[in-house]
Amino acid sequence: MTTTETGADAPASPDTTDATDATDATETVTGHDRGVHGYHEQKHEHLKRLRRIEGQIRGLQRMVDEDVYCIDILTQVSASTKALQSFALQLLEEHLRHCVADAAVKGGDEIDAKVKEATQAIARMMRT
């Protein structure tokens, strides 16, 4: 959740030109502040997807146990790898839309930290 929410009974600030009002943590409360991460709304779908990937990995174990032809196993390894990469990309997109956007609303050093964190995650994904 990236929208700004304030308490229903919080008084309106008479001076809206004060820069500290916009970044005051008591005034700007987001879903991220409440421990809700970007993937939260898709959690059920993500768990379903991860269980499917887990099934692919178990299938690989079975294939090795049953002495299936090497190339057939490698084909399934490739499919499993692509499935994990696709999952990671979706999670990264949700992180950018939620966590990084939340930091952008708050401004300051937090946005720099979130952008750096996302950049490092992208670098790790590219190495694989």
Integer angstrom CA distances of residue 126 from 7, 79, 83, 116, 122 = 42, 17, 15, 15, 6
Residue 99: the pLDDT is 87
Report how far residue 82's alpha carbon sits from residue 65's, in angstroms, rounded to the nearest whole number. Answer: 23
Given a cut of 60, whether residue 28 has pLDDT beyond it is no
Identify the band that residue 32 occupies on the pLDDT scale cut at 50, 70 and 90: low
Given a cut of 60, whether residue 97 has pLDDT beyond it is yes
Report how far residue 114's alpha carbon sits from residue 78's, in angstroms, rounded to the nearest whole number. Answer: 31
Given a cut of 50, whether residue 18 has pLDDT beyond it is no
- For the segment 66-71, the average pLDDT, to the nearest whole number, is 97
Tokens of 29: 């409360």
Given a cut of 60, whether residue 108 has pLDDT beyond it is yes
102 neighbors 2 (Cβ within 8 angstroms)? yes
Model's pTM, two decimal places?
0.63
Report how far residue 47's alpha carbon sits from residue 41's, in angstroms, rounded to the nearest whole number. Answer: 12
Given a cut of 60, whether residue 67 has pLDDT beyond it is yes
Element (DSSP H or E) covering residue 84 = helix 70-95
Identify the band that residue 57 occupies on the pLDDT scale cut at 50, 70 and 90: very high
